[in-house]
A and B are shown apart, each in its own frame.
Chain A
Amino acid sequence: QSALTQPPSASGSPGQSVTMSCTGTSSDVGGYNSVSWYQQHPGKAPKLMIYEVSKRPSGVPDRFSGSKSDNTASLTVSGLQAEDEADYYCSSYAGSNNLVFGGGTKLTVL
């Protein structure tokens, strides 16, 4: 059982927006501005999409945005495209040199 809770699935039509959540506790998500989001296509390594709650690495489209409120972080994908269909994982620093992941959300583009 993963430390962070993510809904198993989410979906949206092309052009729409979808938001995925990541719920933790005050010991991880709520305690640090250290939430990251990863996109993973089948058979591939995860790709960093968001770090430190809302920052985008170079090359990640601005259609991807992150936020956090209390113990819940969120990833929003705007203007959905077919290639956004993938699994999305969140992670958070959890203190004492430890990191926890969520169980992942499978995003389907209808």
Chain B
Amino acid sequence: QVQLQQSGPGLVKPSQTLSLTCVISGDSVSSAAWNWIRQSPSRGLEWLGRTYYRSKWYNDYAVSVKSRITINPDTSKNQFSLQLNSVTPEDTAVYYCARGWLGAGFNYWGQGTLVTVSS
């Protein structure tokens, strides 16, 4: 059974970097697409980006955050991470990691992390 366990701070100051990690059990970070999605009352559900391995590592990012986001796999720890730079209060949301391909749905999700951007 695939399980995703998220970790990271729940409070980030404006202009700083939001960092979250998603540890994978029951699967390999090299075997599927791994995504970050966030949810807020103002923006609803929003796909942020993904990483996946097909002979080499690929990343795709949503246009809305493309200039500020990095998603990195870590094969040694079987996990992947999210970094979102220069955050503002608009980035306050529950952040989820999830497994799945864009056209085929996300069938496993992390537990969610509420990240508040505030000074």
Contacts and interface: CB of A to CB of B under 8 A. Distances in A.
A51 B107 CA distance: 9
Given A34-B103, A51-B105, A52-B103, A45 B112 contact: yes
Contact of A2 (B44, B63, B102, B106): B44
Contact of A45 (B44, B60, B63, B110): B110
Contacts of B45: 2, 46, 89, 91, 101, 104
A98 B62 contact: yes
Contact of A101 (B44, B63, B100, B109): B44
Q: Is the interface of A mostly helix, strand, loop or mixed?
A: strand
Given A99-B47, A101-B44, A45 B102 contact: no
- Most A-side CB within 10 Å, residue of B46, B62, B104: B104
Nearest to A45: B109
Interface residues of B, number: 19
Q: How large is the interface on A (under 10, 10 to 19, 20 to 34, 35 or more residues)?
A: 20 to 34
B107 A48 contact: yes
Interface of A: 2, 32, 34, 36, 38, 45-48, 50-52, 57, 89, 91, 93, 97-104
Contacts of B105: 36, 38, 48, 50-52, 57, 91
Given A34-B102, A98-B63, A103 B44 contact: yes
B104 A51 contact: yes
A98 B104 CA distance: 13
B111 interface: yes
16 contacts: A32-B103, A36-B104, A46-B96, A48-B100, A51-B104, A52-B104, A52-B105, A57-B107, A91-B45, A93-B102, A98-B63, A99-B102, A100-B47, A101-B44, A103-B44, A104-B45
